């Protein structure tokens, strides 16, 4: 069989909320393929029903993706085309599909993107944060210690940082961002393109307080966008100013604990870190 008789794998972006965001091309491809490989066939069935399409489906998720490669490759070899979709947005972006695309591309199969909705792009373009450079990190670790360690490793990055987060961890994640990154600006997008789409803007501590006051703000799927760290020159200048403040407080007889509390309130960051810094300054006098 010649290459032009082989099937094509289409990587199809689907809506993240509003069904009108599905492109005409995506709708056409979904109606023309022999098979749709879906993260959740029940979820995708609703989309196909909305489009009036009856297409065979096969589940492809993080637990069975590697095992599906041979099966799907055989169908491509028979000349059947396949659409790969996730539950929402663009496949492979914090969703299954990477293993399949990597293996099929290594075998020389034809893979065609059908672009469309992507939560991180939709959120970033409306956030008012720098877009010239950004670093997408997907979901942070679920456990607190690992999550804080990841944030500490990213804290000095100057690009806008973007994360996805689920409703049952959003409060803990905001608390960890407040601890590690202080009062740095953060924009939180929730329920993108849906009826209750919301953008919240402020420090992590402020947004956490907003959720405590209105629990509805903790519902839905989230895109967290954190302003990048200041350029090193600015950080050095700010560090000198912080040390000057701490030194002045110590000179006035303010205790280490109280001075650290003042610095945390005025400059943001964890009291523990300010305590250790103030104690070091006191010992160096």
Tell me the β-bridge partners of 160. 134
pLDDT of residue 118: 97
Same domain, yes or no: 104 and 52: yes
Instruction: Give Cα 202 distance to the centre of its chain.
Output: 18
Domain that holds residue 276: 232-284
Q: How many domains does the chain have?
A: 3
Question: Which of 116, 138, 171 delimits the end of a domain?
Answer: 116
Does 151 lie in the same domain as 60? no
Q: Which of 192, 210, 226 is the last residue of a domain?
A: 226
In this structure, the answer to whether residues 96 and 73 fall within a common structural domain is yes
Tell me which residue of 224, 195, 192 sits closest to 207, measured CA to CA. Answer: 224
* Phi, psi of 266, rounded to the nearest 5 degrees: -85, -35
103 shares its domain with 10: yes
Same domain for 104 and 15, yes or no, is yes
| Structure tokens given for 131 | 């877009």
The reply to whether 37 and 128 lie within a common domain is: no
pTM of this prediction exceeds 0.85: no
Q: Whose structure tokens read 């023309």?
A: 32
Six token digits for residue 142: 């679920």
pLDDT at residue 2 in the model: 43
| One-character DSSP codes across 77-100 | HTT--EEEE-SSBSTTSSSS-HHH
Same domain, 135 and 212: yes
Query: Closest Cα to residue 176, out of 157, 202, 150?
Result: 150
Query: 10-residue block means of pLDDT along the chain (285 residues)?
Result: 76 97 98 98 96 97 96 97 97 97 97 97 97 96 95 95 97 96 96 96 96 95 96 67 88 90 85 88 81
What's 168's domain CATH number?
3.30.950.10
On whether both 94 and 21 belong to a single domain, the answer is yes
Which single residue is written with the structure tokens 């103030």? Answer: 278
Distance CA 133, CA 99 (A): 27
- pLDDT score of 84: 98
Give the pLDDT score at 3: 52
**Among 46, 81, 116, residue at a domain's last position:** 116
Contact indicator for 256, 282 with CB cutoff of 8 Å: yes
């Amino acid at each position: 069989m010649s290459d032009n008789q082989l099937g094509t794998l289409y990587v199809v972006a689907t809506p993240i909320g509003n069904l009108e965001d599905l492109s005409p091309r995506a709708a056409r491809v979904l109606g023309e393929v022999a098979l749709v490989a879906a993260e959740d066939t029940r979820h995708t069935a609703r989309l196909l029903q909305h489009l009036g399409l009856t297409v065979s489906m096969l589940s492809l998720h993080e637990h069975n993706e590697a095992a599906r490669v041979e099966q799907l490759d055989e169908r491509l070899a028979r000349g059947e085309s396949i659409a790969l979709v996730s539950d929402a947005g663009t496949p492979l972006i914090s969703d299954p599909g990477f293993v399949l695309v990597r293996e099929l591309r290594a075998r020389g199969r034809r893979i065609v993107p059908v672009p469309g909705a992507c939560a991180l792009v939709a959120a970033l373009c409306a956030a008012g944060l720098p877009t010239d450079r950004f670093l997408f990190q997907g979901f942070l670790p679920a456990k607190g210690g690992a999550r804080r360690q990841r944030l500490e490793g990213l804290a000095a990055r100057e690009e806008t940082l973007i994360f996805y987060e689920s409703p049952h961890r959003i409060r803990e994640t905001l608390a960890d961002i407040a601890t590690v990154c202080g009062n740095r600006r953060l924009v939180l997008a929730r329920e993108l393109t849906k009826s209750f789409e919301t953008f919240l803007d402020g420090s992590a501590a402020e947004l956490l307080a907003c959720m405590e006051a209105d629990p509805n703000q903790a519902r839905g799927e989230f895109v967290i966008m954190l302003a990048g760290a200041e350029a090193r020159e600015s950080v050095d200048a700010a560090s000198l100013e912080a040390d000057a403040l701490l030194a002045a407080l110590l000179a006035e007889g303010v205790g280490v604990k109280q001075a650290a509390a003042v610095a945390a309130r005025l400059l943001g960051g964890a009291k523990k870190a300010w305590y250790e810094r103030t104690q070091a300054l006191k010992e160096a006098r």
